[in-house]
Structure 1
């Protein structure tokens, strides 16, 4: 019975993520989500008290999945440059495997302040781990504000590349291989090397 309840909840979450990413916040309704998931509206309300609660759960759940995957990849090595390479590769893999999820987490602006705060709170925890690796790769005298700036530029480059790859790859001749190469090159330049993982 418990496994059935989890399955119902997961299907509702998956349907919500798809509708939100493809059609926006206004297109999401408890009736629509329930129908897409193959359940009654009453079943949806048994798991979530409102549309806002459902979307908040979706955003938190998807970001947690993303952060867990990224940190697991980076934990595979102690070499900071290899960590950056694994991070770039895992980010690309997640975006291509779950494009709707990636868009919902990073590319869709949510109107509910509670959802934004939940997402930002999770982001702070995840980025703290990435920031630690970035700080190791920069010169010891680098100011904290400059570490933050390097991380910010890395993430801006990453999300920009993913947005183009998911939505407009053809005009830029962008594919999985050169997207990863672009990320590694940009990360390397921001962190003081020609390409992440290269040795001088």
Structure 2
């Protein structure tokens, strides 16, 4: 199946190395200086484009975290796009692949797990930007260190920027715990893949 030009454009915007240096310097009380990697990976290639994502605090680049996959594909109605997130059965085995993409060659479909409620609907806004937000009924849960975690996902992407709206929430109380508490993390693309 040939991928649509719109899907390939979104993939082009999303792939690369990013950081939020300007934002972190302007408002260090609310925004940690992060580096983020979005690397293409050869999974689900029959109907989608898949990206390995990982990030690290700039002062701890040797300790990356939030390893995940973003699978860009047509929505069920084939009229728009969606992003389906996947986790890893063993995130430690792939830790650092953002900086060493050759590690991605050993990732197989059996080493990842679908995160059912972790899905975003994507719209193209007409100003060279894509906006991705969860459907109203979507709830993104995953297990981490034996505990159930919840995250509210969302992003905006353009040729040079990636804004992350991701927020971790307490699944019992709904209280926001981490992430884009004071607005999105504003990443600038530093290198294109």
Give TM-score, length-normalised by structure 2: 0.26
Higher Cα Rg: structure 1 or 2? 1
